[in-house]
Chain A
Amino acid sequence: MVVTPQLALRVAILGGIALVLFAVIFFRLWYLQVLSGDQYLAEANDNRVREVKVEAPRGRIVDRNGTVLVDNRTALVVQVLPERLPDDPVRRKRMTTRLARVLSRDPAALRRKIRRDSRSLPFSPVTLKTDVGLTTVLFLQENQSRFPGVEVERVFLRKYPHREVGAHLFGQIGEVTEDQLDKPRYSGVALGDRVGQSGVELQYDRYLRGRNGASRIQVDARGLPKGELSVRDPRPGKRLRLSIDFDVQKAGQAALEGYGLPGAFVAMDPRSGEVIGLGSNPSYDPNVFAKGVSPSVYKRLQDPDNGAPLANRATQGLYPTGSTFKLITAVAGLESGLLSPATVLFDGGSLTVGGVTFKNAGNVSHGAVALPRALQVSSDVYFYRVGLMADQKGGDIIQKWAGRLGLGRGTGIDLPGEGAGLVPTPEWRNRLFRRKLTDRPWTPGDNINLAVGQGDLQANPLQMALAYSAVANGGRIVTPHIGMRVEDSSGRILQQIEPAARRRLNLSSSTRTAIMQGLRAAANDAGGTSTPVFEGFPITVAGKTGTAERGAQGDQSWYVAAAPFDDPRVVVATTIERGGFGAEAAAPAARRILAAYFGIKGKKAIGTAGEAPD
């Protein structure tokens, strides 16, 4: 065959087309492989590598003797990856309905949760149910094809072996919030990790939380694992040793519970501020929070009609303190020079000021009394007179000393959410009156009421324990704390928690002696307000009763004590709402707590007086 020019041209055109096509492909390959190769390699690696979180167990929380208060347990949670759910709305709905039935949850609520959570945190698994039974898990795993996107994961949950005991101390853990993640103290925490959100769990979170590990696994296109690439082991959290003594804590809560009334107690070392026991009644079982509490249960735990079990009355209570305040009035009177330990004031059973008559409880008359005796028998008129004298002298003497002793402000305890309370001053009441928030301005009667812990005063048992500690230790305002030290799992001390005293008051020794003598006599000598309660108690206690009148809410029973008298190692403050006179409820409860602290058992621990139930 002869190759004509026409054929040659056409073959050349074909060749030219081929050349152009190959050139286009080569340029495209150059672009993909040489210019963008690194980027595609990274994409290929993203494709195949999944990082799986290996959760670190949180540190345990133990009491001062090593008794485990907060432990861990593993639980299975069912999660769903929203982006792997079926795209088709009908199939999706059918699947979620099926899943809801398996998890025995409401399908609509389940869908709502998936929708809400995946909107706030796209591409992360939504936890549908925590602590799922093994049979359910096995069922889901065997029928994986019918539940696309559903995963089962093993997580650590908190376990509280002693249930109600110490419930108010520990607090809860929960998923880290986005606000928290912005803070430097949460560096190393990833979205979805659980951190302490209240109580000691929050306060000491950075020790307790440990550091999650990660396992990098290779997966195929179906997401099936094809071998582990690398592992970073989780670092378990540190152990936190509390200054709490489990026996004291348990005795305190049992004593309060025995009355069936709302109340609280604090037991504290006056020298260091170590809190040995701190509780509030009613209590609750924190185990219900471990796997996520339902809104209805949560509501009931907050309901005042149910006693608001979540409230920690020991640090958040806002109560008048009754006669336990007389210690503060005594310090103010002595240190300001209004009084001396020997100053004798006449108690005729009542005092009338500005047309208002202030009476002793039970209308008794104690006659001429000096300070120790006034504390011993709890003479109201004596302290009414001190209150009146302080008001006349001006300068808010009692209020200032109440503030110095820790009232009206936070104590600095390592528990979040403590209340400040209120010490009423003329300025405060007059301001309210000017704003028409109250019906009358300040009168001397307000100061008279304050002097015996009545009226507008608001304080909690921890503040009272702190004030009594200051007198017991000679003037130091310690920082109450529950955390004692951080240890590794073998018990080696990593950090001692010893917050310094917040301030030092220059209390003269005569002030201390006079008051301590009065408190000792009140619990030991004939005529002392709590002498019957402490009859037969082998340790010498110095303590003061209080009965706060709260109008329609009845009388609130108070007791604050330091023991042993000659060298106090523990201060106990108890209060019981509607508990009547101090000696009726709060003092017997304090005796039980002191008995637990000193290891006193049997009959001697309980005593015979008062209405302490067995």
Chain B
Amino acid sequence: MAGAGSTPFGTGVQRFTEPRARILRLDFLMLLGTLGLIAFSLVTLDTATATDIPGSPDYFVVRQAAYAFVGLAVMIALAAVDYSRLRELRVGLYASMIGLIVLVLAVAGATRGSRRWIELPFIRFQPSELGKVLLILALSAFIVDRLRRLSDRETTARIMLLALVPTLLVMAQPDLGTSIVYVTIALALLFVAGTKWTHFAALGGLAVSAVVLALVVAPAAGVPLLKGYQQDRLTAFLEKDNADPQSQGYQLNQAETAIGSGRKSGRGSDAATQTRLDFLPESRTDFIFAAVGELYGFVGAGIVLSLYALLIWRSLRILTIAKNLYGALLAAGVGVMLMTQVFVNVGGNVGIMPITGIPLPLMSYGGSSVIVTLIALGLLQSVYVQAREAAASKTEAIA
């Protein structure tokens, strides 16, 4: 491996210099993707939020930059830590995840009908965002614990139950989109760990029954499990002609118009009327991808998607080189988390998925989302760094 590893001056000197060398061993491609998306986010927000707060056109850009800065610092710090030690904290991590989500349900003020955050100075802390990472850390650890009994139905059931508790709590906030991410993460972890195909088939059967129960049987019995607007969102992409500006159909129509009007190379900041004149709703959060589409066209949207593809490819690559199963599971969890969020968010923007209101990682404005995504990427970097070091020491041992 690089530089210090192959010096002929003996192991003592080499170990002594290791802490500094670790930083240099970050996955640069992933770092490139991370910084690229942050840059794209800031540039897009500059246009999308220029008139949101009269008199301070840079309000959201400055804040997003600050969140990204803090997040990058945490990311690098995490990269320098051996993630394996977090496995020991699994119970504490799981408990704090549940505790935070319950806390938000209990104390946070009602905003727009959903209780998703706790007001802190400088940031609206959204526990369900942090919960994604805590869930990956805790569930991966539990799976590693029961690795030998992985083919037991009990193991799969336990892991899924552990995942379902926070999922249902998040759904109760209500935050349907994030709960989908939770379930996907749990499934991905089981999948990568090697759970039997028959278990997935059984889980699939259960899921179908649950959906039928929630959407058909329960409303028929007079117990609506989904809130009205959630149902609207699930069906909105089927009825785009709705002229009511509050309706989901209208929002989706405006999002598609924004994206389409960007054509190949985009309309540029000044001419992007859908974004600038607020026809595009929520252009700094849920619909920032549509703003990108209008501002920078097919080329810009393609670059953003390529950057996500880069991150996902890197996470799958890191999965395969991780020094232990825990690291592989963390990489799988982070990769699938990104994949789910990108597909659900962008799919909603382009009209092939229901709008579920989950942020586009690193692009959507919001401290919790940006910082938590960077924490997840920090863990991924840590897996990479540890893998590299392990490989280096192995090479050294052989040499």
**What residues of chain A have their CB less than 8 Å away from a CB belonging to chain B?**
1, 3, 6-8, 10-11, 13-15, 17-18, 21-22, 24-26, 28-30, 32-34, 36-41, 43-45, 47-48, 83, 87, 218-222, 226
The stretch that binds A, out of B4-12, B111-119, B158-166, B271-279, is B271-279
Contacts of B343-360 to chain A: CB distance below 8 A: 343, 346-347, 350-352
A28 neighbours in B (Cβ, 8 Å): 350-352
A29 B350 Cβ-Cβ under 8 A: yes
- What 1/0 mask marks residues of chain B from 100 to 133 whose CB sits below 8 Å from any chain A CB? 0000000000000000000000000000000000
A14 B316 Cβ-Cβ under 8 A: yes
> Chain A's nearest CB lies how many Å from the CB of B253?
9
> Chain A's nearest CB lies how many Å from the CB of B99?
31
Supply 24 A–B pairs (Cβ within 8 Å), ascending by A.
A1-B323, A6-B194, A7-B320, A8-B320, A10-B191, A11-B332, A14-B332, A18-B313, A22-B305, A22-B308, A25-B305, A25-B347, A26-B302, A28-B350, A32-B256, A33-B259, A34-B264, A37-B260, A37-B262, A41-B260, A44-B257, A48-B274, A87-B244, A220-B279
A219 neighbours in B (Cβ, 8 Å): 277
> Chain B's nearest CB lies how many Å from the CB of A493?
48
B312 A1 Cβ-Cβ under 8 A: no
Q: Closest residue to A30 on the B side, CB-wise?
A: B298
B26 within 8 A of A: no
A25 B350 Cβ-Cβ under 8 A: yes
Q: Is the interface of A mostly helix, strand, loop or mixed?
A: helix
Q: How far does the alpha carbon of A10 sit from the alpha carbon of B323 in the complex, in Å?
A: 18
Q: Is the interface of B mostly helix, strand, loop or mixed?
A: helix
B277 A34 Cβ-Cβ under 8 A: no
A15 B316 Cβ-Cβ under 8 A: yes
> Chain B's nearest CB lies how many Å from the CB of A537?
75
B325 A221 Cβ-Cβ under 8 A: no
Counting from the closest, the 7 A-B pairs by CB-CB distance are A40-B260, A37-B263, A44-B261, A220-B277, A221-B278, A33-B298, A41-B261
B264 A33 Cβ-Cβ under 8 A: yes
Contacts A6-B194, A7-B194, A32-B293 aside, 10 further interface pairs with beta carbons under 8 A come to: A11-B332, A15-B316, A21-B339, A25-B346, A32-B256, A33-B293, A41-B260, A47-B274, A218-B273, A221-B279
Known: A14-B335, A33-B301, A37-B261. A48 touches B273 (CB 8 A): yes
B309 neighbours in A (Cβ, 8 Å): 18, 22
* Contact pick for A14, options B188, B258, B259, B302, CB 8 Å: B188
Q: How far does the alpha carbon of A38 sit from the alpha carbon of B347 in the complex, in Å?
A: 21
* Contact pick for B260, options A24, A32, A221, CB 8 Å: A32
- What 1/0 mask marks residues of chain B from 294 to 333 whose CB sits below 8 Å from any chain A CB? 1001100110010011001100100110111101100010
Contacts of B2-51 to chain A: CB distance below 8 A: none
B324 neighbours in A (Cβ, 8 Å): 1
Q: How far does the alpha carbon of A369 sit from the alpha carbon of B259 in the complex, in Å?
A: 100
B328 neighbours in A (Cβ, 8 Å): 1, 7
Q: Closest residue to B331 on the A side, CB-wise?
A: A11
Known: A3-B320, A11-B320. A18 touches B263 (CB 8 A): no
Residue from B274, B305, B308, B347 with most neighbouring chain A CB atoms (10 Å) = B274
Residue from B257, B298, B320, B325 with most neighbouring chain A CB atoms (10 Å) = B257
A26 B243 Cβ-Cβ under 8 A: no
A45 neighbours in B (Cβ, 8 Å): 273
Q: How far does the alpha carbon of A32 sit from the alpha carbon of B244 in the complex, in Å?
A: 23
Known: A10-B194, A219-B277. A29 touches B316 (CB 8 A): no
B243 neighbours in A (Cβ, 8 Å): 83
A18 neighbours in B (Cβ, 8 Å): 309, 312-313, 316, 339
Q: Closest residue to A12 on the B side, CB-wise?
A: B316
B192 within 8 A of A: yes
> Chain B's nearest CB lies how many Å from the CB of A228?
14
Q: Closest residue to A219 on the B side, CB-wise?
A: B277
> Chain B's nearest CB lies how many Å from the CB of A358?
79
A38 B263 Cβ-Cβ under 8 A: yes
Q: Closest residue to A19 on the B side, CB-wise?
A: B309
> Chain B's nearest CB lies how many Å from the CB of A103?
27
Known: A7-B320, A14-B336. A29 touches B298 (CB 8 A): yes
B245 within 8 A of A: yes
> Chain A's nearest CB lies how many Å from the CB of B17?
26
> Chain A's nearest CB lies how many Å from the CB of B326?
9
A7 B277 Cβ-Cβ under 8 A: no
> Chain B's nearest CB lies how many Å from the CB of A223?
10
A1 B325 Cβ-Cβ under 8 A: yes
> Chain B's nearest CB lies how many Å from the CB of A179?
31
> Chain B's nearest CB lies how many Å from the CB of A218?
7
> Chain A's nearest CB lies how many Å from the CB of B174?
25
Q: How far does the alpha carbon of A8 sit from the alpha carbon of B313 in the complex, in Å?
A: 14
Q: How far does the alpha carbon of A36 sit from the alpha carbon of B346 in the complex, in Å?
A: 18
Q: How far does the alpha carbon of A220 sit from the alpha carbon of B293 in the complex, in Å?
A: 19
A43 B259 Cβ-Cβ under 8 A: no
B277 A32 Cβ-Cβ under 8 A: no
B298 neighbours in A (Cβ, 8 Å): 29-30, 33-34
Residue from A15, A29, A48 with most neighbouring chain B CB atoms (10 Å) = A29
- What 1/0 mask marks residues of chain B from 170 to 194 whose CB sits below 8 Å from any chain A CB? 0000000000000000001001101
B325 neighbours in A (Cβ, 8 Å): 1
B263 neighbours in A (Cβ, 8 Å): 33-34, 37-38, 40-41
